[in-house]
Amino acid sequence: MSEKLKVGILGGTGMVGQRFISLLENHPWFEVTTIAASPRSAGRTYEEAVEGRWKMTSPMPEAVKNIVVMNVNEVEKVAAQVDFVFSAVDMTKEEIKKIEEAYAKTETPVVSNNSAHRWTEDVPMVVPEINPEHMKVIDFQKKRLGTKRGFVAVKPNCSIQSYAPVLTAWKEFEPYEVVATTYQAISGAGKTFQDWPEMEGNIIPYIGGEEEKSEKEPLRIWGEIKDGVIVPATSPVITCQCIRVPVLNGHTAAVFVKFRKKASKEELVAKLTEFRGVPQELELPSAPKQFIQYLEEDNRPQVSMDVDYEKGMGVSVGRLREDTVYDWKFVGLSHNTVRGAAGGAVLCAELLKAQGYITKK
């Protein structure tokens, strides 16, 4: 019998679900044994259910082609087959909240890509390099749910990954005011140019709900556990505009920062390139060796050259320069469906395994 943990992908037929399946091919710790989606796909093999809508550039892994897709709503049946699940279903927020907790209550840990539980007080929202200690709030969540091993953990929104790690690396200089504009790829809406041709040569200055997430989620990540819940930080204040741009993958952010403490360019760059976290120390399978790279060239980071840095798990930063109104400005880039979605969730699951929260049933 395989020693690997058995994983189910809820919403495995969708864009993020497909990314999970691609990233988990040959994963050293996890094996996709179960895929669940809507009743529309249930009962068909994965290959049949996804026919004509496989959106990854790498081919569909052979090992999943003949898996018969299950119905996400048959919670007990799906949960009985796996040690834990990744969640990437697209339902209403209330439905997602309910179904993720239903899985947790079957003693099945849920690592979610969805936003539904990001503000549930005892659910950790984690970037493993930034706030791995937040996973401890799971102990309080389990008490609320009445579970021994079942819980929900989430990763934050894709938009913040191009600047929140950078601001974290600069923490000792005390950033207190941040203005960010994000230039977000169409895959963040689950789309390609084939299914969203209006985006070719176009820009849309609206992404529903995104600005609020981009402003508030970093504060929760920088928060701390008090009395069994995560209490968000209150500084730095962040204001953000989020713009959809004609790019397939990769969210770019143009950011201005004010600091309470003075820093030189050399010091700021050194803090970025030296920045390491628990995933690097533990050498987790999906951890980038170098989390943040700094590029000196004036025309970097560029989506076409840098989005796949560290297999899409790293952050690329460039154009750091003094500003006439703010103190410093820079441009950051990260891969929205790898670091910003499925890859970030896989790294969370690896951390949870290393911390002993995900085990064999």
* CB-count burial class (<10 Å; 0-12, 13-18, 19+) for 335: buried
Contact 248, 192 (CB under 8 A): yes
Question: Minimum distance from CB of 230 to ligand NAP (Å)?
Answer: 20
Q: Binder to ligand NAP among 8, 165, 188, 218 (CB under 6 A)?
A: 188
Instruction: Note whether 158 binds ligand NAP by CB under 6 A.
Output: yes
Which residues between 129 and 148 bind ligand NAP (CB under 6 A)?
Answer: none
Q: Binder to ligand NAP among 106, 168, 182, 187 (CB under 6 A)?
A: 187
Question: Minimum distance from CB of 66 to ligand NAP (Å)?
Answer: 17
Closer to ligand NAP by Cβ: residue 47 or 177: 47
Closer to ligand NAP by Cβ: residue 37 or 257: 37
Q: Binder to ligand NAP among 56, 91, 278, 305 (CB under 6 A)?
A: 91
Which residues between 37 and 66 bind ligand NAP (CB under 6 A)?
Answer: 37-38, 40-41
Q: Choose the catalytic residue: 117, 134, 251, 335.
A: 251
Closer to ligand NAP by Cβ: residue 34 or 114: 114
Q: Distance between CA 355 and CA 211 in Å, rounded?
A: 33
Q: Give catalytic status of residue 158 as yes or no.
A: yes
* Residue whose beta carbon is closest to ligand NAP: 14
Sign of CA dihedral 209, 212, 213, 214: positive
Instruction: Note whether 17 binds ligand NAP by CB under 6 A.
Output: yes
Sign of CA dihedral 48, 99, 186, 40: positive
Instruction: Note whether 16 binds ligand NAP by CB under 6 A.
Output: yes
Question: Minimum distance from CB of 125 to ligand NAP (Å)?
Answer: 13
* CB-count burial class (<10 Å; 0-12, 13-18, 19+) for 132: buried
Q: Choose the catalytic residue: 117, 134, 158, 335.
A: 158
Instruction: Note whether 15 binds ligand NAP by CB under 6 A.
Output: yes
Instruction: Note whether 190 binds ligand NAP by CB under 6 A.
Output: yes
Q: Binder to ligand NAP among 24, 222, 337, 347 (CB under 6 A)?
A: 337
Q: Distance between CA 118 and CA 220 in Å, rounded?
A: 9
Nearest CA among 99, 106, 222, 93 for reference residue 170: 222
Tell me the two tokens of residue 116.
Answer: 């539904």
Q: Binder to ligand NAP among 90, 107, 121, 177 (CB under 6 A)?
A: 90
Contacts 24+ apart (CB under 8 A), 115-122: 115/154, 115/157, 115/209, 115/213, 117/152, 117/154, 118/154, 118/156, 118/157, 118/213, 118/217, 118/220, 119/220, 120/152, 121/229, 121/230, 122/228, 122/229, 122/230
Nearest CA among 95, 130, 113, 131 for reference residue 9: 113
Contact 306, 326 (CB under 8 A): no
Q: Binder to ligand NAP among 336, 339, 343, 348 (CB under 6 A)?
A: 336
Q: So which residues are the catalytic ones? A: 158, 251
The contact set with ligand NAP (CB under 6 A) reads 11-17, 37-38, 40-41, 72, 88-91, 113-114, 158, 187-188, 190, 336-337, 341
